[in-house]
Amino acid sequence: MDPFSVTTGVVALLGACVKVGAELKKFHDDVGSVNDTLSGMLEDVNALIRVLNAMRATFDGMPKPITGHIGTHWENITCSLKDGKDALTGLREVVNSVNKDVSILSGPRKQVRLKSAEAKISQFRHHLQSFRDTLQLSMQALIL
């Protein structure tokens, strides 16, 4: 593993974050009353985007160590990035299923679907918060 591979993973995850953020924003705008879970999730995705942008900027200028402890660290970061992308893909699927447009009473029906999916969304929110914290710690360890 090297910084280029990690940067590639960061860019892929960043793309997934942007897509999920757009879906959450659209859903947020479409539903009349939005609960705290959805608003918090949107903030979490935006915070993850900021962390990923910082990682991309940091890794672009790094040398390419591929062995020893640093090489293992690169591998762990790469695995974490893949896990994060999988979680974001799952979140996007949940948001898409909740955010379906229908011809009659679309807003209230979205709110009902949101209530039924709230537990799943909360799990994804917790996962993304942990993921963001792990990436921040990994970045700090690498820089030190």
Give the phi and the psi of residue 39 in degrees, each rounded to 5. -65, -40
Tell me the pLDDT tens digit for each residue of 46-88: 888 888 888 888 777 666 656 677 777 777 788 888 888 888 8
pLDDT band at 142 (very low <50, low <70, confident <90, very high): low
Three-class DSSP category at 61: coil
Contacts 24+ apart (CB under 8 A), 79-86: 80/131, 80/134, 80/135, 80/138, 81/6, 81/9, 81/10, 81/12, 81/13, 81/135, 82/9, 83/131, 84/13, 84/16, 84/48, 84/128, 84/131, 84/135, 85/9, 85/12, 85/13, 85/16
Domain boundaries, the chain: 3-143
